[in-house]
Amino acid sequence: MNLKKPVRVRFAPSPTGRFHIGGARTALYNYLLAQQTGGQFILRIEDTDRKRFDPSAEQELASSLRWLGLDWDEGPDKGGPYGPYRQSERADIYLKYINILLEKGLAYYCFCSPERLARVRHQQQKLKKPPRYDDHCRDLSPIDAKERVNAGESYVVRFKTPKQGKTTAVDLLRGPITVDNSTLDDYILLKSNGLPVYHLAAMVDDHLMKITHVLRGSEWLPTFPLHVLIYQAFGWEQPTWVHLSVFLNPSGKGKLSKRFAIDPKSGARSVYVLDLKQTGYLPEAVNNWIALMGWSYDDHTEIFSMDELIEKFSLEKLNPSPAAVNYSKLDHFDGIYIRSLQLDDLTHRILPFFKSAGLPVDETTLSRITPLIQERIRTLEDAVEIAGFFFNETVEPDPEQLIGKNMTAADSAQAARQASEVIASLPGFENDAVEKSLRNLADEMKIKAGQLFGVLRIAITGQRVSPPLIESMQIIGKDEVLHRIEQAVAILNRQI
């Protein structure tokens, strides 16, 4: 079902560390919804936790989102009608709303010292009771409390959670979740440093920023009833709440680690978006991959371009069950997207990988190589592994590898020597002529063409796996090809 009404959705990361695929998926789903309905996608930086604040995180998440093509309509750098979009710049707004709750008697000042709270917690643990605030300041007279605040005493502000009744919080995917209010804590809303916690700041912002749908991680399910109570305390209309599935390790056991995932097939793999970029994945493949970690269109379609995702995405088809991260799938998608790229596009995308490998790459040569490797690479980085040798002045073939299959060093040397003579005697260097003459030579020598090509491949490329040999020879050039074969003959001769 396509939502007809334009949504206002937000991605609200806390800049506390590197940007990973979990965040990317939340951002993607929000983006898709906004695009699909002609709504707005807002980037809000939730940086009120100053202890965990990491100054480089905002930069990294912005570059990651841009690389994925998940551009936002309103945000700290872009502005917009409901800014500022960085919570640390909204402290006075939160204070205003804290005061509203205090005046309504729905929040209260708490002066308990950390030491007292630790003692209470300790006592509760001993009695095997759930750790909870013991209401010490809950019923202080507001006038007395205000006097203590004015006198400079340190305080926090707590939510006055109703003692009676039940709260029902409705998640679009999970239906109503009802809890007894007596099981809820009097959560802190405003910390002693004057900054609000997530529970207050995010609710105020979502309301003021006119957010219609909140798509967020399911780590917020336990405090979801509190969020609903905060909305009710202000008398605001709630957004549609959607808590996304949890990512599991590739093994399917345990929550995905923040730093890396251990894939039984390929070892440790990074969960950070910019690492995926650096190791040569295409943003198209990453988006497709993460889109399917918690959403499916039907039971068989796997490839979705961004336009198709925008058209087909729907909240109803989100799956709340935990999803294991599968890197083989990502490799598979990346290969598919690489093969679907126009050659020019692929050349432009692999170029930086050759540069960062320190190779003296030039675009003209690279554009001749691209068609030879497009079918053979899974990531852009693979291109360097398979085709980096084109830009090396020399190759250093492994002497043992130069010896052909079921051949001796002497046979191999002879085959290489004769190949070099045959090639040298050709008037030109056209593919067909080179291939034909080498095949004839193999026949004459009573060896298989594969054996001869095997020796020449190592001699010319230095690698067992390379792009098609004859075409590669064209790029390297006749003189250099002859030179490399002669070098191989010399290496082989030393092994006789």
Active site positions, annotated = 258
Applying CB under 6 A, which part among 8-16, 73-81, 228-236, 312-320 lies near ligand GLU? 8-16
Is 216 a binding residue for ligand GLU by CB under 6 A? The answer is yes
String marking each residue 9-38 x if it binds ligand GLU according to CB under 6 A: ---xxx------------------------
Rounded Cα gap, residues 41 and 39, in angstroms: 7
Residue 53: is it exposed, middle or buried by C-beta count within 10 angstroms (0-12/13-18/19+)? middle
Question: Which CB atom, from 75 or from 280, has the smaller least distance to ligand GLU?
Answer: 75
Instruction: Give whole-number Cα distances, 189 to 83, 106, 114, 200, 321, in Å.
Output: 21, 11, 16, 6, 31
Name which position in 84, 162, 217, 388 contacts ligand GLU (CB under 6 A): 217
Question: Which CB atom, from 215 or from 285, has the smaller least distance to ligand GLU?
Answer: 215
Smallest distance, ligand GLU to C-beta of residue 195, A: 14
Smallest distance, ligand GLU to C-beta of residue 12, A: 4
Rounded Cα gap, residues 309 and 312, in angstroms: 5
Is 387 a binding residue for ligand GLU by CB under 6 A? The answer is no
Question: Which CB atom, from 9 or from 156, has the smaller least distance to ligand GLU?
Answer: 9
Question: Which CB atom, from 14 or from 212, has the smaller least distance to ligand GLU?
Answer: 14
What is the DSSP secondary structure assignment for residue 257, as one 8-state letter?
P
Residues contacting ligand GLU: total by CB under 6 A: 8
Q: Cβ atoms within 10 A of the Cβ of 347, count? A: 20
Smallest distance, ligand GLU to C-beta of residue 89, A: 15
Smallest distance, ligand GLU to C-beta of residue 219, A: 7
Question: Which CB atom, from 12 or from 455, has the smaller least distance to ligand GLU?
Answer: 12
Name which position in 40, 46, 70, 419 contacts ligand GLU (CB under 6 A): 46
Is 199 a binding residue for ligand GLU by CB under 6 A? The answer is no
Task: Measure the CA angle with vertex 364, ends 359 and 366; round to 5°.
Answer: 50
Please enumerate in sequence order all residues whose Cβ is within 8 A of that of 408, keeping only pairs 6 or more positions apart, or say none. Answer: 496
Q: Residue 443 phi/psi, 5° resolution?
A: -60, -50
Question: Which CB atom, from 52 or from 78, has the smaller least distance to ligand GLU?
Answer: 52
Smallest distance, ligand GLU to C-beta of residue 51, A: 14
Secondary element (H or E) of residue 42:
strand 40-43
Alpha helices in 357-445 (DSSP H): 363-373, 380-387, 409-425, 431-445
Is 202 a binding residue for ligand GLU by CB under 6 A? The answer is yes
Smallest distance, ligand GLU to C-beta of residue 16, A: 8
Smallest distance, ligand GLU to C-beta of residue 398, A: 50
Smallest distance, ligand GLU to C-beta of residue 74, A: 15
Q: Residue 169 phi/psi, 5° resolution?
A: -110, 130
Is 273 a binding residue for ligand GLU by CB under 6 A? The answer is no
Nearest to residue 165, comparing CAs of 148, 146, 178?
178
Q: Which of the residues 346 through 365 are near ligand GLU (CB under 6 A)?
A: none
Please enumerate in sequence order all residues whose Cβ is within 8 A of that of 385, keeping only pairs 6 or more positions apart, or say none. Answer: none
Applying CB under 6 A, which part among 6-14, 102-110, 315-323, 458-466 lies near ligand GLU? 6-14
Residue 404: is it exposed, middle or buried by C-beta count within 10 angstroms (0-12/13-18/19+)? buried
What is the DSSP secondary structure assignment for residue 132, as one 8-state letter?
-
Burial annotation 249-280 (CB, 10 A radius, 16+ → b, else e) = bbeeeeebeeebbebeeeeebbbbbbbbbeeb
Question: Which CB atom, from 177 or from 482, has the smaller least distance to ligand GLU?
Answer: 177
Instruction: Give whole-number Cα distances, 287 to 23, 24, 55, 306, 313, in Å.
Output: 12, 8, 26, 8, 12
Is 312 a binding residue for ligand GLU by CB under 6 A? The answer is no
Smallest distance, ligand GLU to C-beta of residue 48, A: 9
Nearest to residue 161, comparing CAs of 177, 180, 130, 184?
184
Instruction: Tell how far CA 207 is from the center of its chain.
Output: 28
User: Facing residues of 171 across strands?
Assistant: 175, 241
Please enumerate in sequence order all residues whose Cβ is within 8 A of that of 301, keeping only pairs 6 or more positions apart, or say none. Answer: none
Question: Which CB atom, from 223 or from 347, has the smaller least distance to ligand GLU?
Answer: 223
Question: Which CB atom, from 198 or from 231, has the smaller least distance to ligand GLU?
Answer: 198
Is 225 a binding residue for ligand GLU by CB under 6 A? The answer is no
Site residues for ligand GLU per CB under 6 A: 12-14, 46, 198, 202, 216-217
